[in-house]
Amino acid sequence: MIFLDLVKQYTLLQREIDAAIKKVCLNGQFIMGEEVSSLEAELARYHDAKYAIGLGSGTDALHLALRALDIGPGDEVITTPFTMIATAEVITRVGAKPVFADIDPRTFNLDPDKVIKKLTKRTKAIIPVHLFGHSADMDALQLLAKKYKLKIIEDVCQSTGALWRGKKLGGIGDVGCLSFFPSKNLGGFGDGGMIVTNNKRIAERISLLRAHGARKKYHHEVLGVNSRLDSIQAAILRVKLNYLDSWNSLRRKKAQAYDKAFANIEGITVPYVDERAYHTYHQYTVRVTKQKTFRAFLAEKGIATMHYYPVPLHVQKAFAFLKYKSGDLPIAEQACKEVVSLKIDPHMPDSEQQHIIRTVKEFYATQ
Binding site for ligand PLP (CB under 6 A): 57-59, 83-84, 86-87, 129, 155, 157-158, 179, 181, 191, 193
Minimum separation from the CB atom of position 89 to ligand PLP (A): 9
- Give the E-state strand segments of 233-289 in sequence order: 268-269, 277-278, 284-288
Which residue of this chain has its Cβ atom nearest to ligand PLP in the complex? 58
Minimum separation from the CB atom of position 91 to ligand PLP (A): 12
Minimum separation from the CB atom of position 357 to ligand PLP (A): 26
Minimum separation from the CB atom of position 287 to ligand PLP (A): 19
Q: Which is nearer to ligand PLP, 33 or 176 (CB)?
A: 176
Minimum separation from the CB atom of position 167 to ligand PLP (A): 19
Minimum separation from the CB atom of position 181 to ligand PLP (A): 4
Q: Which is nearer to ligand PLP, 231 or 353 (CB)?
A: 231
Separation CA 98–CA 28 (nearest Å): 42
Q: Which is nearer to ligand PLP, 182 or 267 (CB)?
A: 182
Q: Tally the C-alpha atoms within 13 A of residue 87's C-alpha that lie toward its C-beta.
A: 30
Minimum separation from the CB atom of position 353 to ligand PLP (A): 24
H-run or E-run covering 297: helix 291-300
H-run or E-run covering 342: strand 339-342
Q: Which is nearer to ligand PLP, 251 or 261 (CB)?
A: 251
Separation CA 343–CA 235 (nearest Å): 28
Q: Which is nearer to ligand PLP, 33 or 187 (CB)?
A: 187
Helix, strand, coil percentages, rounded to 5, for the chain:
45, 15, 40
- Evaluate whether 360 touches 268 at the Cβ level (below 8 Å): yes
Q: What is the DSSP track for 97-154?
A: EEEE--B-TTT-SB-HHHHHHT--TTEEEEE-B-GGG----HHHHHHHHHHTT-EEEE
Q: Which of 117, 221, 241 is nearest to 178 (CA)?
A: 241
Q: Which of 319, 43, 4 is nearest to 193 (CA)?
A: 43
- Evaluate whether 258 touches 342 at the Cβ level (below 8 Å): yes
Rg from Cα positions in the chain: 21
Q: Which is nearer to ligand PLP, 90 or 270 (CB)?
A: 90
- Evaluate whether 252 touches 211 at the Cβ level (below 8 Å): no
Minimum separation from the CB atom of position 93 to ligand PLP (A): 12
